[in-house]
Amino acid sequence: MTKRTVKDVDVAGKRVLVRVDFNVPQDEQGGISDDSRIRAVLPTIEHLLEQHARIIVCSHLGRPGGVVDESLRLAPVGRRLAELLGRPVTALADCIGPEVEAAAAGMRAGEVVLLENLRFHPGEEANDPGFAVALARPADLFVNDAFGASHRAHASIVGVPRLLPAVAGLLMERELDVLSNLLGDPEHPFGAVIGGAKLSSKLGMLESIVGRVDHLLIGGGMAATFFRSRGLNTGRSLVEEGRLEAVRRLEDEARARGVRLLLPSDVVVTERLDGEDGGRTVPAEAIPDGWAMADIGPRSIAAFSEALAGCRTVFWNGPMGVFEQPAFAVGTRAIAAALARLGGVTVIGGGSTAEAVTEFGLADRMTFVSTGGGASLQFLAGEELPGVAALPER
């Protein structure tokens, strides 16, 4: 980690603006259904509390589109943060303006306030300089601990660090260290399990890591594009026709480098992705017209599990099927269980994969669960993250 972190600066008595990613899932009653992202930043906040800082936390939640959405207020998040910290957290009614500045000016050391949803203002996603100035005004120091949002060039991510002394938080430091090791010096055999619905969002990462891994396992809906590139029928599974040539190049590259690339040999197909019909298992080369892939089959689970069993390092991003439906969660659950049994390093690439291992109760048996799906993909593709680039080097 070459960036300055919160451990490198004196924060005593300072008003510290901490950008976090509290974009957490909520239940129908507005409660927090998964607080993993809140727990992930506790070490940074607790460090600041121990150093007698005055802490101003800011985050986005959902996609309100620059207007106030009552269902996306951060007050429930503030209540959960207070429970986890064991101290009060004052949730403010806005993230900029005179009331926020007055609240910040009146803070004492060890107090925590939570600003309202940043995306209630259009200036956040537009990276408006005026919004960044207003957000930075009450603070003396900026800490970016929102790895999951740092692939976005938003005002709170790249605008504020131009205006305040800026450092990385402890979660940001851990994210960058773990992912950098995957690109640098992972212990071999190194396996990658890549799934999810769309190939296009992961192609850059695949092209980056194909020369670094020993095993590349492809599952989920994106396997359909690989099947089509081999001339197989894919029913009504989503196929990205414009990526067929890129897939062929990727397979050629894997062969040339001696990488074992595994596709599902059997799949669960369905006429209804809502799980009502339960689906049926067919060989990968026998997907019927009008049916769509919803999970990997038992032979694929066995082959994938066997390949993973010999690995010392595994990176996993993307479920093996529509795991939100119990009928189609078998493959994703089996991969999670295989990684939980592994004695080596297991890194979960955020997003829906993190949600899956948490839902299965296996998150604490992984070496590291990233808080950033898109950010981790972009980082592993070798692309610069705007939020990381905005932080100064040590």
- Catalytically active residues, by annotation: 37, 198, 351, 374
* Residue where the block lists tokens 């599902």: 264
Contact 204, 381 (CB under 8 A): yes
CA dihedral 27, 30, 33, 37 (to 10 degrees): 130
Cα–Cα separations (whole angstroms), residue 305 to 12, 88, 191, 301, 379? 50, 46, 11, 6, 26
Nearest to 216 by CA among 315, 149, 85, 310: 315
The span from the CA of 156 to the CA of 132, in Å, is 6
Grouping H, G, I as helix, E, B as strand and the rest as coil, residue 251 is: helix
Alpha helices in the chain (DSSP H): 36-40, 42-50, 75-85, 98-105, 122-125, 129-136, 170-184, 203-209, 223-229, 244-257, 298-309, 330-341, 351-359, 373-380, 386-389
Helix/strand/coil percentages in the chain, nearest 5: 45, 15, 40
First to last CA, the chain: 9
Nearest to 146 by CA among 42, 41, 53: 41
**Residue-by-residue DSSP string for 24-46:** --B-TTS-BS--HHHHHTHHHHH
**208, HSE (Cβ side, Cα atoms, 13 Å):** 18
Give 222: exposed, middle or buried? Use CB within 10 Å, 0-12, 13-18, 19+. Answer: buried
Phi/psi for 257 (5° steps) reads -95, 0
Letter string b/e over residues 80-98, b meaning 16 or more CB atoms within 10 A of that residue's CB:
bbbebbeeebebbebbbee
Contact 358, 36 (CB under 8 A): yes
